[in-house]
Amino acid sequence: MTRHLSPSPLSALSVSGPALLALSLILGACATGERPAPAVPVMATLETPSVGTAGEDAADDPAIWATTTPARIAGTTVNGFVAGTDKKAGLYIYGLDGAVLQFLPEGLLNNVDVVEGLIVDGRPQLVLGASDRTVGRHGIALFLFDPAGTDADNAVRPWGHIATDVALPYGFCFGRRDAGVDAILIGKDGEVRQYRLTTDAAGQPQTRELRRFAVGSISEGCAVDEADDALYINQEDVAVWRYGFNPVSGATRQSVAAVDGTTLTDDLEGATVLQDGDRRFLIVSSQGDSTFGVWRIDGPAPVWAGRFRVVGGPVDGVSGTDGIDALGGPVGSAFPEGLVVVQDDVNDSGTQNFKYIDWRDIRTALGL
């Protein structure tokens, strides 16, 4: 399969100095005058039930966790799970087969992410965080899961809350840095806050603000590439931006791609980073034309790899995607090399839900 690089977005969005030279050479010189190839079709292999809030824009964002050591959650043995928000009601925990394992009626949760690496009460815990728009509780809702827990009632449980001064919490993602965990919160108007998450002597969450900056207008999806100290943020009607993840980088940024109606069509929504062996990929949902843009990001600058769309097959196709998450490597027995989960805005068999896609199918379709 022949893949065509898209025209460089730098004509629309200015960067300067060495970053401009590198991006121009890699993203532009080999692609001058070419239009991106049509989005290649892939199929989802399974789906979750519709979220409980029917007839509304409710399902929003997923997050994937996997383990090679079986864990117990809500009475079921699993090798991982998918968390998914119903932004009108709370948080779902799905099995890798799409079945509902748990529902936490925790209010107006929008974007969700999951991270390992935090010790709580002397035990390694999985932390889930979600941007929280519940009245009187604007900020980040936090949850814990004990992957080594053996009690019959072991499950995801509420842990605490991070207050914020952003007007409307919207986008959210975690990242690990300097042996610690940072949380990124994006307000709907593009205000960004970066917090360091720790625990106090009583095992309760505590945070310290590290950085604040403004993207410029409505923004949501974000993803951290820890290996390259990069923070990707989608400015919905403008561009995908690459910031430094280290807060000392301030508001310095470079354009990855502009919203141009061909490569990317507004609104830009979810963003995720997938590690595939020694390669890393950024995937962004282009809601306006129901496609997903893919870049390889393990080199000196992001390189366009192509677009895909999710068509009907074992389950119905995907349209108007909001949130997306991806995890490379073994994700249960059904996804031995990686899993991509996307929100489906118009679900043929009910109201909004989440679709599971085998990373191997995307990789093959794009010729990666």
Other Cβ atoms within 10 Å of 208 Cβ, number? 9
pLDDT reading at 331 higher than 60: yes
* Burial per residue of 16-39, b for 16 or more beta-carbon CB atoms within 10 angstroms, e otherwise: eeebeeebeebbbeebeeeebbeb
Quote the distance between the C-alpha of residue 347 and its chain's center.
20
- Res. 29: pLDDT tops 50: no
- Tell me what pLDDT residue 30 has: 35
- Residues 347 and 343: their CA atoms lie apart, in Å, by 9
Give DSSP secondary structure letters for 139-206: EEEEEEE-TT--STT---EEEEEEE---SSEEEEEEEEETTEEEEEEEETTSEEEEEEEEE-TTS-EE
pLDDT at res. 4: 30
Average pLDDT (236-258) is 98
Helix residue ranges, H only, the chain: 17-23, 359-366
Q: Give pLDDT, residue 37.
A: 75
What is the count of structural domains for the chain?
A: 1
203: which 2 tokens? 């095992």
Q: What are phi and psi of 329, to 5 degrees?
A: 85, -175
Write out pLDDT tens, residues 35-73: 677 999 999 999 999 998 888 899 999 999 999 999 999
Q: Which residues are within 8 A (CB) of 213 and not within 5 positions of it... i.e. 6 or more apart?
A: 192, 250, 251
pLDDT above 50 for 234: yes
Over residues 6-20, mean pLDDT: 36
The phi and psi torsions of 49 (rounded to 5 degrees) equal: -60, 160
- How confident is the model at residue 36, as a pLDDT? 73
Using a pLDDT cut of 70, give the percent of the chain over it.
90
| pLDDT of res. 28 | 36
Neighbour count for residue 100 (Cβ, 10 Å): 15
- pLDDT of 252 over the 50 cut: yes
Residue 22 predicted with pLDDT over 90: no
Instruction: Tell me the mean pLDDT in the region 13-19.
Output: 39
CATH number at residue 139: 2.120.10.30
Can you give the pLDDT at residue 269? 96
pLDDT tens digits, one per residue of 156-170 = 999 999 999 999 999
Give the bridge partners for 212, in sequence order. 193
Q: Residue 264: which of 327, 302, 224, 306 has the closest Cα? A: 306
**3-class DSSP state of 292:** strand
Does the pLDDT value for residue 27 go beyond 60? no
The pLDDT tens digits for 92-106 are: 999 999 999 999 999
Give yes or no for a contact between 223 and 247, defined as CB atoms under 8 angstroms apart.
Answer: no
> What six digits make up the tokens of 219?
């923004």
Contact 128/141 with Cβ under 8 angstroms? no
Q: Which of 31-45, 293-307, 321-335 shows the lowest mean pLDDT across its residues?
A: 31-45
In this structure, is residue 3 part of a structural domain?
A: no
- CA–CA separation, 19 and 22 (whole Å): 5
Q: In this structure, is residue 229 part of a structural domain? A: yes
φ/ψ (deg, to 5) at 22: -65, -45
> What is the structure's pLDDT at 34?
55
Residue 4 in any domain: the answer is no
> Greatest CA span in the chain, whole angstroms?
61
Q: Once rounded to an integer, what is the mean pLDDT over residues 174-179?
A: 96
In a domain, 2, yes or no: no
Q: What is the mean pLDDT of residues 329-344?
A: 98
The two structure tokens encoding residue 234 = 């989608």
- 169 closest CA partner among 198, 144, 197, 137: 137
Residue 323 has pLDDT above 60, yes or no: yes
pLDDT at 54: 85
Mean pLDDT of 279-304: 97
pLDDT at 78 over 70: yes
With respect to residue 1, please indicate whether it lies within any of the assigned structural domains. no
Please provide the average confidence, as pLDDT, over all residues in the chain. 91
pLDDT number for residue 349:
80
Range of the domain at 183: 9-366
Q: Rounded to 5 degrees, what angle do the CA atoms 291, 307, 329 make?
A: 100
Q: Under a CB-based contact definition with an 8 Å cutoff, are residues 87 and 105 in contact? A: no
Cα–chain center distance at 254:
20
H/E stretch holding 78? strand 76-86
Does 76 fall in a domain?
yes
Question: Measured in Å, how far apart are the chain's first and last C-alpha atoms?
Answer: 10
Q: The pTM is what?
A: 0.90
